[in-house]
Amino acid sequence: MKQLINRINQIPIFKLVATCFLLFLAIYSPRLKAIYVTYLVFAALAYVIIDRDFFKKTYFWLIVLGLLIPRLYASFLFIGNHYFVMIYMILLFLIVSFYQDNAEKIFSRNATVILVLIMGFAVLQKLLVPDYLNGTSLAYLGYSGKIFKYVFYFNEEYRDIFYENAVKMSELYKYPISENPRVQLEPIFKNFPQVIIWFSYLTLIAEILFIVALFIKKQWIKHGFIIFFLLSLLVTREETGFLSMLCILLMMHIEKQNTLYRAAYLGIFILCLSLIIVGKGEL
């Protein structure tokens, strides 16, 4: 294990995070519904094999950025937050390609800003949306198995309840909203509605603590909490795509003397990508 960590730490941070990002982009690209993007992304990966210093080339990141800009322009009001985060990360790679001598410092400071913005707006959204604070938002996900899926994965009875609830909710889409259609969903277990409300507030508190943790000087406390947060999110929700990007940003955030944690985030990143590839995770 120590030898593996040392080998990971020998990889320049710019090359490590750039390679991880391109792997994520290759898996994400089919969702863009523009087949040319998928082909070009895989062509970029082929170029990576030919030129091992690809990450230092400014024109390379300009080309990657150019692949995503048309979709950003065409669907600005409809694309998800993931897409904007990818754009910010490409812009960061572009900046670092100009100032490679200060790559680690630029990555660390900018990744911290992006992480704070991601979690800060996530907290703000939850506070401004009544459906989240009263548990309705997570209840919808909970009853259909979008959260807690892996917690109850090995129990066939719970899986059947998730499936039946999902089928009932899909029936609602057959009726116009004006008819105010309703269905009776089966609770996963006793007191499930109360658990959902507590989980809503716990998630909100955890995201606030995540922001605070980024500025804690004791590294084992900071990264211990963040790793626990990531693993908890992985177990309770299917947001492996979001987690993958968080792991890349956290690898950037880490200072040189704390490379053990960088290896830990790389391990979680690989786990998330593996779950996406085998169909057990979501982008």
CB 68 within 8 A of CB 83: yes
Q: pTM of the entire structure?
A: 0.87
Q: Which two tokens stand for residue 225?
A: 């909490």
- Give ∠ CA 164-151-232 in degrees, rounded to 5: 130
Adjacent-strand bridge partners of 147: 237
Q: Tens-digit pLDDT profile for the chain (283 aa)? A: 667 667 777 778 888 999 899 889 888 777 666 556 666 777 777 777 777 788 888 888 888 888 888 777 767 667 777 888 889 999 999 999 999 888 889 999 999 999 999 999 999 988 988 888 887 778 777 777 777 766 666 666 777 777 787 777 777 777 766 666 677 777 777 777 788 888 889 999 999 999 999 999 888 899 999 999 999 888 888 788 889 999 999 999 987 666 788 889 999 999 999 888 887 767 6
Query: Cα Rg for the chain, rounded, in angstroms?
Result: 21
- Record the tokens describing residue 107, joined without a space: 């990555």
The rounded distance, in Å, linking the Cα atoms of 28 and 69 is: 15
